[in-house]
């Protein structure tokens, strides 16, 4: 089956870096702030989860600029997988008989 190609509009490339640095600075602030607030140097698991979400958004904000620079990005939602490569990945040909057997 063919892949759907969605054109990416050439947008402000500085905006992606601004979003990345905002997420990075908020993450650092959360880690340092949670270490300072009593009880000292005890970081709650919710802080780690929040930092992980912020880093995920920071990584996702870089994908449009990577695609605009000629790289190929593949994003899957189930068990989240993001792959960025220099070349387009070629799909392996699927044997029709094998596909019928698996279905």
Q: What pairing do the DSSP bridges indicate for beta strands 72-76 and 81-85?
A: antiparallel
* Domain layout of the chain by residue ranges: 13-102
Q: How far is it, in rounded angstroms, from Cα 4 to Cα 13?
A: 24
pLDDT tens track for 18-72: 888 888 899 999 889 888 888 888 888 888 899 988 888 888 888 877 777 778 8
Report which of residues 48 and 8 the model is more confident about. 48
Q: How far is it, in rounded angstroms, from Cα 38 to Cα 33?
A: 10
Nearest of 62, 67, 59 to residue 85 by alpha carbon: 67
pTM for the whole structure? 0.57
pLDDT of residue 85: 83
| 73 pLDDT above the threshold of 60 | yes
pLDDT of residue 29: 92
pLDDT of residue 40: 83
């Amino acid at each position: 089956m063919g892949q759907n190609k969605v054109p990416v509009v050439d947008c402000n490339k500085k905006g992606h870096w601004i979003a990345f640095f905002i997420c990075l600075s908020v993450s650092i602030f959360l880690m340092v702030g949670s270490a300072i607030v009593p009880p000292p140097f005890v970081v709650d698991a919710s802080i780690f989860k929040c930092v992980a979400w912020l880093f995920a958004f920071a990584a996702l904000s870089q994908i449009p600029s990577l695609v605009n620079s000629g790289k190929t990005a593949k994003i899957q939602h189930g068990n989240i997988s993001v792959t960025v490569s220099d070349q387009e990945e070629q799909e392996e040909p699927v044997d029709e008989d094998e596909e019928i057997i698996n279905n």
